[in-house]
Amino acid sequence: MSETDLGVWTVLIAMLGGAIRVSTPYIFVSLGECLTERSGRINLGLEGTLVFGAMSGYAIAYETGSAWAGVLAAALAGTLFGLFHGWVCKLPKVNDIAIGIALMLLGMGLAFFFGKPYIQPVAPDLPTIALGAWSSSPQVEAALRINVLFVVGIALAFFIAWMLRSTRIGLVIRVVGDSADAARAMGISVDRVRLLATAAGGALAGIGGAYLSLYYPGSWNEGVSSGQGLMAVALVIFARWSPVNCIWAALLFGAAGALGPALQSVGVSSGYYLSYAAPYVLTLILLIATSSTTRAVRGAPGELSITK
Amino acid sequence: MSMIFTPTRRTFIKSAAALAGATALGGLGAGAAAAAGLTVGFIYVGPKDDFGYNQAHAEGAAAVKAMDGVTVIEEENVPETVDCQKTMESMINFDGATLLFPTSFGYFDPHILEVAAKQPDVRFQHAGGMWNADKHPKNVGSYFGYIGMGQYLNGIAAAHATKTRKIGFVAAKPIPQVLLNINSFLLGARSVDPEITCQVIFTGEWSLAVKEAEATNALADQGVDVITCHVDGPKVVIETAAGRGAFVCGYHADQTSLAPEKYLTGAEWNWAKVYTDMVKTTLDGGTIDNFVRGGLADGFIKMSPLGPAVPEAGRKQFEAVKAEILKGGFAAIKGPLKDNGGKVIAEAGQSFVETDVALESMDYLVEGVIGSLS
């Protein structure tokens, strides 16, 4: 095997590993946002929920000694943020985007405030499944060390897709998201559906945060998120509001994020600022390639304030 | 001095604040003492308990806090933007601070320089900034330590622990201080085994947890088995590297507790000594030198205790070189030496001792370092 072969393989394995490691928070936040947006509301505050989830998950995991208790606490905290967003947006003349931005800043501020004492201690990590145990190569082994939450996230995406397509609850969410008038005519309480959808979205974003602080990178500090929550909201549009597409979008972003360090590690070291911009360039290219001048954004819920 | 000339409104706010503070403390004595003594402000770019850069400075601030007649005020998470000017102004105008330590590298130009021009009675001390007598105001000073020597010692410990002869460095930005650390780390290792190479990965930012973890994983994938870093908070790098089974060398502060088995040693700041000295000078009515530098011998930096993974031969060599550095005049960068592009840095016989100012404008990676600057 020549040296370039090895380099290419290393980069590919690193990107696979990166996709699996980095994508989980994207998956959870974008699934949560997908659910919320399918009910006709946008919650831009998920970055704040993510950071608060990371903090509360880490804090509770440290206090109780159980990483799963941390995940539960993060989900609970996320639910509260979601409920708050849903409740405020129910009031007349409230803009969901503005509230989302306010909640994002609030969530981060609260997380920084309460998270102070938890920067130093070391909390337990979430368990992993060693899918790469068959391989003799430590690189492959490391890349295929899969966290339980990653598996849960993928299963959840298929579950949500099935739920939206084939169940009554899914139908209700879709009706509310596509036409509030039709939903009211059917006797559905639009506000309650949106409240619950936003709360569920918040819970998922909270779990995404717990993954950040409890598994990868695996510690709580104030710079733990670096904008994953915001990117995930964009991913939903990129995934055209399809939960299954959210997985692919998240994996793509994870892999593209691993490209920069992997290239540097095999000696392609010049222009690393450019390779770090790869995920964003990729998004632009894909969005432009799949856009159309003749029709509206396909798959967009009719009630969304950005598409209305 | 400055008390007499302060405008009425400012004085009013100040005394109101002092009164409120005294009431909160439940005694007027504390407030009165604070007003009479020296107020020192510390500004950090990140959280002050980050196991890294900011924690090292905050430990220095804590030592100052313990001194008599000194009030310490601190603000953390202040970005390297106009925000730090606002923080400085408010520390000066509302808290009466007359000695400021804005600790982050990016605070210097233009922020400290602008505020310093407006506040000639206040002293600004900046870590790592390049104070220049011709260009910069007299009430600004810069101080730094020769921590590259610490990375050189890290390199010696690393060379004795590595099996693959590949060591790695997760770096934030290619500024001279970082480059000196990378080069020193490799040259320290090569002083033990000239076959060793050092893989460097730049993350582009001082604090990016996920990217630091990815960079560490990428190094481990390459078979790198000793990793150190120069980012603001080394916690993520240390934990990720140890999780992958690699040995680690610390930076900024002591990270032994994060990976007790894998931690070899670490290059730490000892700002407590530097800051208490500077505050003492000010309290005694003296003026701090504008350009302060120091190394191991001066107590500006220190090494973490050697970890259990360093073999006996490594311990001996580590202590011997450390003793040599403590004598002063040690040169890590010495000829014959080329950069990793093949350009000659130093001819045979030529050397740059740790105190050489030329090292503070370093713009190369030495031969054996795999990586590039942009």
Residue of A nearest to B201 (CA): A264
Model confidence pLDDT, tens digit, residues B48-82: 888 899 999 999 999 999 999 999 999 998 988 99
Residue B351 has pLDDT above 70, yes or no: yes
Residue ranges in chain A whose pLDDT is less than 70: 1-6, 294-298, 306-308
Whether the pTM exceeds 0.90: the reply is no
Rounded Cα–Cα distance for residues A71 and B166 (Å): 37
Residue of B nearest to A263 (CA): B218
Number of domains in chain A: 1
Q: How many CB pairs under 8 A join A and B?
A: 124
Model confidence pLDDT, tens digit, residues B211-241: 999 999 999 988 999 999 999 889 999 999 9
Rounded Cα–Cα distance for residues A280 and A288 (Å): 12
Residue B150 has pLDDT above 50, yes or no: yes
Query: Looking at residue B132, what is its pLDDT?
Result: 85
Query: Looking at residue A308, what is its pLDDT?
Result: 55
Residue B34 has pLDDT above 60, yes or no: no
CA B373 to chain A, closest CA, distance in angstroms equals 7
Considering chain B, what percentage of its residues have pLDDT values greater than 90? Answer: 70
CB neighbour class for A3 (10 Å; exposed up to 12, middle 13-18, buried from 19): exposed
Model confidence pLDDT, tens digit, residues A91-113: 988 999 999 999 999 999 999 98
Rounded Cα–Cα distance for residues B51 and B232 (Å): 8
The dihedral built from the CA positions of residue B317, B318, B320 and B325, taken in this order, carries a sign that is positive
Model confidence pLDDT, tens digit, residues B311-350: 999 999 999 999 999 998 899 999 899 999 999 999 998 9
ipTM of the complex model: 0.85
Query: Looking at residue B1, what is its pLDDT?
Result: 40
pLDDT band at B30 (very low <50, low <70, confident <90, very high): very low
Q: Write out residues 119-138 of A within 8 Å (CB-CB) of B.
A: 119-120, 122, 138
A221: domain range? 3-307
Query: Looking at residue B19, what is its pLDDT?
Result: 47
Q: Write out residues 69-98 of B within 8 Å (CB-CB) of A.
A: 77
With beta carbons less than 8 A apart as the criterion, state whether B169 and B199 touch: yes
Rounded Cα–Cα distance for residues A209 and A153 (Å): 13
Model confidence pLDDT, tens digit, residues B185-195: 999 999 999 99
For position A37, which CATH number holds? 1.10.3470
Residue of B50, B218, B219 lying closest to A221 (CB–CB): B50
Residue B10 has pLDDT above 90, yes or no: no
Residue B182 has pLDDT above 50, yes or no: yes
Residue B27 has pLDDT above 50, yes or no: no
Query: Looking at residue B337, what is its pLDDT?
Result: 94
